[in-house]
Amino acid sequence: MSLLRFIRYWRYWACFRAYGWALPNTLVGLAFLPLAIGRGAGVRVVDGVIEVHSRPIAWLLGRWIPVPGGV
């Protein structure tokens, strides 16, 4: 196997594992997406990440995430 082929193979699997690792949390977030959009949230995709923004979401992340000061 050539070095270039090995690098391509490794990148493919690294990307696949990254999306697989993020999938459970993504599904939880997507379950709340219709509710957020119904309340006027904005949605966009940035670098493969689904971003949802609104005041109720900011409030929830500030209160429900166990990090000092929220997220």
**66 CB-near residues (< 8 Å, 6+ apart):** none
Instruction: Please give the pLDDT value at position 52.
Output: 86
pLDDT given for residue 70 in this prediction: 65
Give me the pLDDT at residue 53, please: 86
Specify the pTM.
0.58
Rounded to an integer, what distance in angstroms lies between the CA atom of residue 14 and that of residue 60? 32
Residue ranges, the chain, pLDDT below 70: 1, 69-71
Q: What are the residues whose beta carbons fall under 8 Å from the beta carbon of 50, sequence distance 6 or more?
A: 26, 29, 30, 33, 43, 44
